[in-house]
Amino acid sequence: MNVVRRRRVLSGGLALAAVAGAAAAAPRGDDAPRRHTAADHPPRLRAILHRLTTVDGVPGALVEVRTRCGSTVLTSGVANVKSHAPMRRDSGFRIGSMTKPFVATVVLQLVGERRVALDAPVERYLPGVIRGHGNDGRIITVRQLLQHTSGVPDYLTHLTPQEILEDPLAHHDPRDLVNIALAHPPTFEPGTGWRYSNTDYLLAGLLIERVTGRTYGEEIRRRVIAPLGLHETYVPGDDPAIPGPHPRGYVRPGEGAPLRDITAINPSVAGASGSMISSGTDLNRFLDALVRGKLLRPAQQRQLMTTRPTGNPDGRAYGLGLESRPLPRGGLYWGHGGDILGYGTVCGATTDGRQATVMVNLNPGGTDAQDADMKAAVQTALRENRHP
């Protein structure tokens, strides 16, 4: 979900969590056969984190990097601007649109089970939901929802952060959010363009529920969270709380305005487009399993990673709920970004076993420099933390 800064539609990369205290390193159970320290990481990565929390104005930032040799957490800044508490290395946070790869994984598993057809019309599974209002569920396909080529408008274009901030604990029904989008004309004819739309994934969540008889959250828990042992990953429903240790999440309502604490928010405003909570450890484990084919059958794995250009000059391309980006020295990494009120996250992984997650605890209210430094942190971690 990108509720605040739509110019940063996606930021595939590593997981950087902006929230924490002094630089720290931590092994993570089975993921850490040996202890890494901050000194194991290039000064460039530590300098980027420091810049995020000083020059860029983010309260705190966290990056967790994982390779086959171990896992390391680096932090900078604070988790709480009042108490100045440092962020714990096991912090959880809202992951926004990083929810989309989880949802896409469930849909593709259903495709592998022959319960859903990628190129079938959405109308087959959600009769009457899209049809009308200039949008036609008989033409729009499931694949187009997952790849943002449906032309369905983004409901967040018409539901502003200011409106959400007026009543952050309000429940939002996904059908109501879809109807906000469908009150407006299509962005383009289905299949003729690419444009990021959170509405696509609200519809994907409704599709999962119609096909399985269970909510998208229940299916994610059953098919992804439990099998991978993601103990810090949740689909919270209407619960405004973040379980376990976590940084406070902030917004800056206007230029020069004081920070507002928005940690408690009803995540139904994001739904299947961006409601989930996770951690750097869990996101890295999930991305590793996803890009290395451990969650999908081979045919669906190929579909997941068959991309189309997004038109962005940085070369990013979008598959089915997963984005690819070129690394500066060659090769690709796979991931997604996620903005939701209070938190910004970017995650990335390579197919040879490197992952990184970055999170910051200020969103919206950041700058272009913040976006650039989060991207740089991802690329630096993935490029410079290769297997020995």
Q: Which residues contact 336 (CB under 8 A, 6 or more apart)?
A: 10, 12, 97, 98, 100, 101, 321, 322, 323, 346, 347
What three-state secondary structure class fits 249? coil
DSSP state of 156: G
Cα distances (angstroms) measured from residue 192 to each of 50, 122, 151, 261: 43, 17, 8, 41
Q: Which residues contact 7 (CB under 8 A, 6 or more apart)?
A: 371
Q: Which residue has the tokens 């929390």?
A: 53
Tokens read off for 155: 């409901």
Identify the active-site residue in 91, 97, 273, 278. 97
Q: How far apart are the first and last CA of the chain?
A: 36
Cite the DSSP H helix spans in 213-353.
Answer: 216-220, 226-228, 280-291, 298-304
Q: Which residue has the tokens 């990673």?
A: 305
DSSP character string of 309-324: E-S-TT--EE-SS-EE
Q: How many CB atoms lie within 10 A of CB 35?
A: 12
Q: What is the C-alpha separation between 235 and 9, in angstroms, rounded?
A: 22
Cα distances (angstroms) measured from residue 358 to each of 51, 74, 306, 368: 14, 10, 25, 16
Question: Is 324 tagged catalytic?
Answer: no
Q: What is the C-alpha separation between 249 and 290, in angstroms, rounded?
A: 28
- Phi/psi for 352 (5° steps) reads -100, 15
Show which residues are catalytic: 97
